Structure 1
Amino acid sequence: MTTLKGEDEVAGLCRDLIRIDSTNAGDNSGPGERAAAEYVAEKLAEVGLEPRILESDSRRANVVVRVEGEDSSREALLLHGHLDVVPFDADDWTLHPLSGEVADGCVWGRGAVDMKNMDAMILAVVRQRLSEGRRPPRDVVLAFTADEEAGGTYGAQWLAAEHKDLFEGCTEAIGEVGGFSVSIDDARRLYLIEAAEKGIAWMRLTATGRAGHGSMLNAENAVTELAEAVGRVGRYQWPVRLTRTVENFLTETSRALGIDFDPNDPEATVAKLGPLARMIGATLRNTANPTMLQAGYKANVIPQTATAHVDGRFLPGYEEEFFQTLDELLGPNVTREFVYHDIALETGFDGSLVRAMADALVAEDPGALAVPYTLSGGTDLKAFSTLGMRGFGFAPLRLPADLDFSGMFHGVDERVPVDSLQFGVRVLDRFLDAC
């Protein structure tokens, strides 16, 4: 077998994956992940693995394979990434989002940040190691999933429910939205490793009133009732709730910045984080943002019902408080039901896996400082955690100081530097040797 060089391959793998349209609008109407899954399976088969393509529905495909380690009696590690991406409007982009074009030292396109970059790094490092005859110290399960961008119904959730045997022995997991650098100065960089993520509550609100003619008095107007409730929810200032991961992040970041951290005023520290403040600021409190409204069918008809949608996110340990407060804001005449509901997660930033991540980063970047943070969104880790896995977000990238990486998640002009991808391959290779 020809020896493969992961650093040389990774940009091409990322480009190829971006060029495969796997957009997911959440209604099961898109192209699905089948073509991307076949590409991934082919690349894994080329180095002697026997990956399985598992379809939960037509075109909704997942890939799972186990890489046998030197000691299969040890607990196994899961490396997971999703194959779907969010939709886009190509007119808003500098380069077409399905081009995968390499320009200005970056691979451009939908998924370059979320998360075909990590898929490519996993493929590159596994292909290199197996072509060189290097097995990991323990079994490593690879999972490339469908549907993460819509909650994982056809992907990680389905795999955890229907194919849990494929993850036998996996106690730890590594996935997306972590491991990327934030520059402190020319010599030092924080690497944010996801150790917690907020829970999800996408909800439909409904107000019911008395239908009638728009010209007449009506004290039971569903639109009015709903609009007032939505206004209360949207304007509510949720109190700061400092979780252990957020406090840990702010303490370490303040020390690196040379500023004092006041636990009674964490927002003062967040304000000094530049573009990252958007992501970190959302982890100081629960949030509930109205996103959709629907009512009526004619200008002179008062409808009997009106509906709205709210995107709610709650911190680990604060789910009960979140829903209690939300119901008080809605009042007695507005009901809520879940469109999608999932758990919050948090784990301690300690142990051998954390040391392996931190050591691998420092070996490739002596100015690296690994710090835990809380993700304001959610990942497939929620589903895999139900199988007893402790997980982190660790897709290592050393990024230019002026690149607003966090702002490109689901944004326009997604791009990832080629040398950042190559850095990630080297770090993941060291990590796998140590874990």
Structure 2
Amino acid sequence: MSDRDGVGGRGETGAEGEVAELCRDLIRIDTSNFGDGSGPGERAAAEWVAEKLAEVGLEPQVFESAKGRASTVVRIEGEDRSRPGLLIHGHTDVVPANAADWSYDPFSGEVADGCVWGRGAVDMKDMDAMVLAVLRDRIRTGRKPPRDVVLAFLADEEAGGTFGARFLVDKHPDLFEGCTEAIGEVGGFSFTVNDDLRLYLIETAQKGMDWMKLVVDGTAGHGSMINKDNAITELSEAVARLGRHQFPIRLTKTVRAFLDEVSDALGIELDPDDLEGAIEKLGPIARIIGATIRNTAQPTMLGAGYKVNVIPGQATAHVDGRFLPGFEDEFQAELDAVLGPRVRRERVHGDRALETDFDGALVEAMAAALKAEDPAARAVPYCLSGGTDAKSFADLGIRCFGFAPLKLPADLDFAGMFHGVDERVPVDGLKFGVRVLDRFLDAC
């Protein structure tokens, strides 16, 4: 099929007519973030976003925190400027992708099988495109939002946000003056229970982040000799213990509320002694939810040595640690107990856990907008196993939610799309998302 087939239906105009094309164009801008400053940066994407906003008469600003590391921000005046503002944020950077592993080039924005394919299609250039499409259409047609809306398209989220959200919050907090609530990734996507019921997961919590470097110092020596103080051996044993360690189950209020909703929707009674068994029944979202009932620490990198016949004096490893809201101290103590006294921990990047209640006018607006476009919708709270730029904005006292609405096919492995191969988003899902966001803006 032509790569344009299915992008915009015949006669479609406005946000629905352009959202898929916007998503494709943004995917084609390589913004791979390797986390070490070696990538192309986000400057090209930031300027592209600014151009799209300027086309409809807005005056966006591009902020560069370091060479090539750029974010775009614009404030749209609302009907009632005395009301607190709403922040809508998304990031334009993506994790790297190896084209040889993909069905279609990850930076081609190919359209096939009713989906836009490419790195960032769900994380999160889809939401960027939906926001752009909705606000461009509203400005063109003279429909102001009820209150001020600040749009932020950010750099560096995939490496912790140092050059994006954190830079703006620290250096330019005035950009977000008056904003008390925010929406961003990862939430608003559907989980199909049956033809008459779809749960839409609204993110009200996210785990904290502790990316760490583990270091063991040993005695250097010749590889042919016996060495009882081998740093590689000591570190390998500690990393293996940590990789196999299962942290205890800890139910936060958000996770408990989600499991209660799932229990009701599926008509099952949750066994407190087998919560993992119940979660396994959730299919494509089981991996996301399964990681929110306990703290986690996953080894991701190892490093030691420079020559086969030399025992190095030091060995290192990197670990992606995530802790639940309210359980950071317990997490840190358990790490030390598992790793043992020989392992030194150095923090690479860390940030807080977040949790807010599933209530208020903004939540009601989300639920109503979803229900209006999908009568089978039921909005439910959930905890994200990862982290987002919301962590930075929370420092400004902004109440943050994950709401990037998508109606998904029941068999689509949505969780597997994040940082995975063959990332793709249904074109119909994008069109659904712009309709929901447009209704949401009217109601919020």
Q: TM-score, normalised by structure 1?
A: 0.97
Give the equivalent residue in structure 2 for 1:113: 122
Superposed CA offset, 1:318-337 (max 9, x none): 00000001011111111010
| Conserved? CA contact 2:213–2:316, under 8 Å | yes
Which region of structure 1 is more displaced relative to structure 2, 256-265 or 329-338?
Answer: 256-265
Superposed CA offset, 1:297-353 (max 9, x none): 233322211111111111110000000010111111110101111111111111111
SS of 2:194's equivalent in the other structure is coil
| Conserved? CA contact 1:4–1:128, under 8 Å | no
Report deviation, 1:23. Answer: 1.1
Give the equivalent residue in structure 1 for 2:359: 350
Of residues 45, 49, 57, the one that matches 2:54 is 45
Give the equivalent residue in structure 1 for 2:413: 404
Q: How far apart in 2 are the matches of 1:27 and 1:131?
A: 40
1:315 aligns with 2:324: yes
SS of 1:184's equivalent in the other structure is strand
1:129 aligns with 2:145: no
1:210 aligns with 2:201: no
Of residues 359, 370, 386, the one that matches 1:361 is 370
1:392 aligns with 2:398: no
Give the equivalent residue in structure 2 for 1:296: 305
1:326 aligns with 2:335: yes
Of residues 18, 39, 57, the one that matches 2:27 is 18
Give the equivalent residue in structure 1 for 2:160: 151
SS of 2:86's equivalent in the other structure is strand
Report deviation, 1:255. Answer: 0.5
Q: How far apart in 2 are the matches of 1:214 and 1:325?
A: 34
Give unpaired runs (5+ residues) of structure 2: 1-11
Give unpaired runs (5+ residues) of structure 1: none
Q: How far apart in 2 are the matches of 1:237 and 1:141?
A: 41
Identity of counterpart residues, as a percentage? 71
1:175 aligns with 2:184: yes
Q: How far apart in 1 are the matches of 2:421 and 2:335?
A: 32
1:221 aligns with 2:221: no
Tell me which amino acid in the other structure corresponds to 1:27.
D
Q: How far apart in 2 are the matches of 1:379 and 1:341?
A: 12
Q: How far apart in 2 are the matches of 1:299 and 1:427?
A: 59
Give the equivalent residue in structure 1 for 2:9: none
Please provide the CA RMSD for this pair. 1.2
SS of 2:106's equivalent in the other structure is coil
Q: How far apart in 2 are the matches of 1:320 and 1:228?
A: 24
| Conserved? CA contact 2:284–2:411, under 8 Å | no
Of residues 371, 381, 385, the one that matches 1:376 is 385
Q: TM-score, normalised by structure 2?
A: 0.95
Q: How far apart in 2 are the matches of 1:418 and 1:217?
A: 62
| Conserved? CA contact 2:284–2:412, under 8 Å | no
Q: How far apart in 2 are the matches of 1:353 and 1:133?
A: 23
Q: How far apart in 2 are the matches of 1:322 and 1:103?
A: 44
Superposed CA offset, 1:124-151 (max 9, x none): 1101111111111110000000011111
Q: How far apart in 1 are the matches of 2:19 and 2:308?
A: 56
Tell me which amino acid in the other structure corresponds to 1:362.
K
Give the equivalent residue in structure 2 for 1:276: 285
Superposed CA offset, 1:262-312 (max 9, x none): 344322220211121111101110011111111222333222111111111
1:140 aligns with 2:144: no
Superposed CA offset, 1:247-273 (max 9, x none): 111110110011112344322220211
1:267 aligns with 2:276: yes
Report deviation, 1:220. Answer: 2.1
Runs of 4 or more consecutive aligned structure 1 residues displaced over 6 Å after TM superposition: none
Q: How far apart in 2 are the matches of 1:42 and 1:166?
A: 19
Give the equivalent residue in structure 2 for 1:433: 442
Tell me which amino acid in the other structure corresponds to 1:20.
I
Give the equivalent residue in structure 1 for 2:88: 79
| Conserved? CA contact 1:113–1:408, under 8 Å | yes
1:242 aligns with 2:242: no
